[in-house]
Structure 1
Amino acid sequence: MLSTDTDVLKAAEDWRRAGKGVALATVIETWGSAPRAIGSHLIIDEDANFLGSVSGGCVEGSVITEALDVIADGRPRVLEFGVADETAWRVGLSCGGRIKIYVERVE
């Protein structure tokens, strides 16, 4: 079991060395009751395998989908998740907080 973000980053390095396309998602901002702290990581490979967490599970599926696009086109993205009336039917944080996640391809 991976116990630290250092372990997750080491796994990302191992996946790249094995020739896989890899993206790194990092929590860059939080507001209110956020499930994970700034600096938390999720890594995703081109086959949608992943390790780590940026939200305790509530938005990981959406982050993985975006990460696959980042791996494919190389363009980083900033994703924002939270709870608001206009986003009630989309993926969000049930805890009531908001988070920003930076997703980049690992070169």
Structure 2
Amino acid sequence: MKEIMDDIDRWRRAGHRVALARVVDIEGSGPRLPGASMAVADTGEVAGSVSGGCVEGAVVSEALDILATGERRVVTFGYSDDEAFAVGLTCGGTIHLFSEPLDW
């Protein structure tokens, strides 16, 4: 999380709203361990990674929705091995993320 703090602080100082997604659990294989974090500004700008690219686009969409609604939620992303292989993903497991808007 330390690696994204400068971006979060810059967005905060510029008056942007920010959502934070953190890996809280993985099942099977996963490229990032629990604690990995990704921040998304209301502009769509991203800092950090929760999956090494496997589901980042979907996480950005969730984060922007969270900024619109203000709700916190646990989101699960999973792939069967066949689905993961078919689209070239290296992470065939399931990741559970806790996503929330940051309040200043």
Aligned length: 99
Distance 1:9 1:24 in 2: 11
Distance 1:72 1:14 in 2: 20
State how 1:88-99 maps to structure 2 within 5 Å: 88=83, 94-99=90-95
Cα contact 2:80–2:93 (8 A) shared by 1: no
State how 1:27-66 maps to structure 2 within 5 Å: 27-66=23-62
Structure 1 residue matching 2:71: 3-state secondary structure: coil
Q: Share of identical aligned residues, percent?
A: 45
Q: CA RMSD in A?
A: 2.0
Q: TM-score, normalised by structure 2?
A: 0.85
Q: Please list every run of 5 or more consecutive structure 1 residues that lacks an aligned counterpart in the other structure.
A: none
* Structure 1 consecutive aligned stretches of length 4 or more whose deviation exceeds 2 Å: none
Q: Could you tell me how far 1:94 is from its partner in structure 2?
A: 4.5
Cα contact 1:54–1:60 (8 A) shared by 2: yes
Q: Which of these residues, 11, 29, 32, is aligned with residue 7 of structure 2? A: 11
Q: Please list every run of 5 or more consecutive structure 2 residues that lacks an aligned counterpart in the other structure.
A: none
Cα contact 2:11–2:18 (8 A) shared by 1: yes
